């Protein structure tokens, strides 16, 4: 019998996530604050300790200044995490940093809610800017 205890599966480094796939389009109502919410319950990366998959829900809320995040490009961006070994706290911050660099929003919040594993539930919330609306 082969035991799996302590086994590590291969995974990629976070440097393989390519933010250049992200695209935006002009926000035509730049003088009017609107809260845009993007969510998925299919976010996946892997544990950087074991290489085992982690699954979670991701929610991005933001107030665009002049640019709006194009959704298909965001899906491609998220697929880049599929085999990346990254802690949840680091993934949330990396996603926030990449999206802020892309769209330069007035305010943005990223919430990464991993599914329960081993009896522990974790939600990471990070934000940028001040929400005025």
pLDDT in the model for residue 2: 42
Examine the pLDDT at 1 and tell me if it is beyond 60.
no
pLDDT digits (tens, 9 = 90+) for 102-119: 999 999 999 999 998 778
The structure's pTM equals 0.92
pLDDT in the model for residue 92: 98
pLDDT in the model for residue 131: 76
CA distance 15 to 11: 12
For residue 85 the two structure tokens come to 């070994």
pLDDT in the model for residue 24: 98
Sorted by where each starts, the structural domains of the chain and their CATH numbers stand as 19-125 (3.30.1130.10)
Which residues are known catalytic residues? Answer: 47, 54
């Amino acid at each position: 019998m082969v035991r799996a205890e302590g086994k590590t599966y291969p995974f990629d480094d976070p440097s393989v996530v390519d933010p250049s796939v992200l695209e935006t389009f002009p926000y035509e109502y730049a003088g009017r604050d609107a809260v845009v919410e993007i969510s998925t319950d299919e976010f996946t990366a892997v544990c950087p300790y074991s290489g085992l998959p982690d699954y979670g829900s991701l929610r991005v809320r933001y107030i665009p200044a002049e640019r709006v995040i194009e959704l298909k490009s965001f899906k491609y961006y998220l697929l880049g995490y599929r085999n990346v070994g990254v802690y949840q706290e680091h993934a949330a911050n990396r996603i926030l940093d990449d999206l802020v660099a892309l769209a330069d929003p007035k305010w943005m919040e990223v919430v990464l809610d991993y599914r329960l594993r081993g009896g522990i539930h974790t939600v990471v919330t990070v934000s940028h800017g001040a929400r005025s609306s």
